[in-house]
Amino acid sequence: MLTRTRLYSRVAPAKDAKLFLIFCEGSSTEPRYFKYFNGINSQIRIEPVEADDQQDNTPTGLLAAAQIALIASEENPAPQYQLVDGDEVWFAIDTDQWGDKIDKLREGASKYGWNVAQSNPCFEVWLYYHTNSAAPNFDGHEQSMEWKNQLNTILPGGFDCRKHPILIQSAILNTKSSHININTPSTTEIYILAERFLPLVEKEINRALLLI
């Protein structure tokens, strides 16, 4: 059982740290989850960009926000972020009922070399796989929303973004074993993002796992 909320000492990122900039559809769970890994190793900087109440958090809205934050133009001469070679931009989105807005995000992101990690139906599927190997059981959008709302009872004690992310390796294995394609319910592409940054924090995570 995980009882400690922080199993490593936080370090500041180096000047040449690899940046993972993650635009999140949600404003709470997703940012808190990814922030867990920021500070594990000085060679990585994970910065989730959370949605707020004033922002269009649809897939196309997130794409527009990323363009403002990253792409310089006459109207936007000083974007918030300056990327260097090796940095990665990701969008963490739910399938929900966004329809063709997801296709538009994927098309727009690919033009810039940005990446999309979609969860079907929601990010909580990724959290579930940290402690479970069998796919969650629900059928249709309505049942999946009921499942999402009951996740704290499905996972004893609920998922805690202050400690459970240390099980990310199990989440990757469990997700990959059940992943067919993103149109299949109860699957997620977050493992693809996780596999990108895991090598930079794996040694520290393995050491921390020995303390559990």
Torsion of CA 25, 26, 29, 34, to 10 degrees: 40
| 96 or 9, which is more confident | 96
pLDDT computed for residue 23 by the predictor: 97
Which residues, including other chains, have CB under 8 Å from residue 195's CB and lie 6 or more apart?
172
- How does residue 7 score in pLDDT terms, banded at 50, 70 and 90? low
pLDDT computed for residue 149 by the predictor = 78
Domain definitions of the chain by residue range = 18-209
The whole-model pTM stands at 0.92
